[in-house]
Amino acid sequence: MIIKVESASSNKQYLDRLRAVDAHIPDNDNINDINFHTGSRPSPSDELPIPPLHENPDRAFDPSPQDLDYKANRKMLGKKFDRNFMQVVKPLEHIFHPDGMLNIRFRKGRPKGRRPEFIKDFGHKITFGDDIVKKLGVDKRTKKLMQKYLWNYTHCPLMYKWKDLGIRFWPRWIKEGSCYKGRSCSIPPGMQCKTKSSKPLTLLRWHCKDWNTDRKCKWIEIQYPIITECACSC
Could you write out the three-class secondary structure of 31-52?
HHHCCCCCCCCCCCCCCCCCCC
| Domains parsed from the chain with CATH numbers | 11-101+162-233 (2.10.90.10), 106-154 (1.10.287)
Q: What is the pLDDT of residue 4?
A: 36
| pLDDT-based confidence at residue 208 (cuts at 50, 70, 90) | confident
* 3-class secondary-structure state, position 148: helix
Question: Which residues lie across from 194 on neighbouring strands?
Answer: 231
Rounded CA separation 91/31 (Å): 29
Q: Which of 14-28, 33-47, 53-67, 175-189 has the lowest mean pLDDT?
A: 33-47
d(CA 227, CA 159): 10
110 residue type, one letter: R
pLDDT at 131: 75
Q: Classify residue 227 by burial, with Cβ atoms within 10 Å: 0-12, 13-18, 19+.
A: buried
The predicted structure's pLDDT at residue 213: 58
Phi, then psi, of 116 in degrees rounded to 5: -60, 150
86: closest CA among 9, 199, 195?
Answer: 199
- Threshold 0.95, pTM exceeds: no
Q: 34 or 175: whose pLDDT is higher?
A: 175
Residues 6 or more apart whose CB falls under 8 angstroms from that of 13 comprise none
Q: What local confidence, expressed as pLDDT, does residue 37 receive?
A: 38
CB burial class (10 A; 0-12, 13-18, 19+) of residue 167? middle
Neighbours of 145 (CB within 10 A): 13
**Collapsed DSSP state (helix, strand, coil) of residue 175:** strand
For the chain, percent of residues with pLDDT exceeding 70: 78
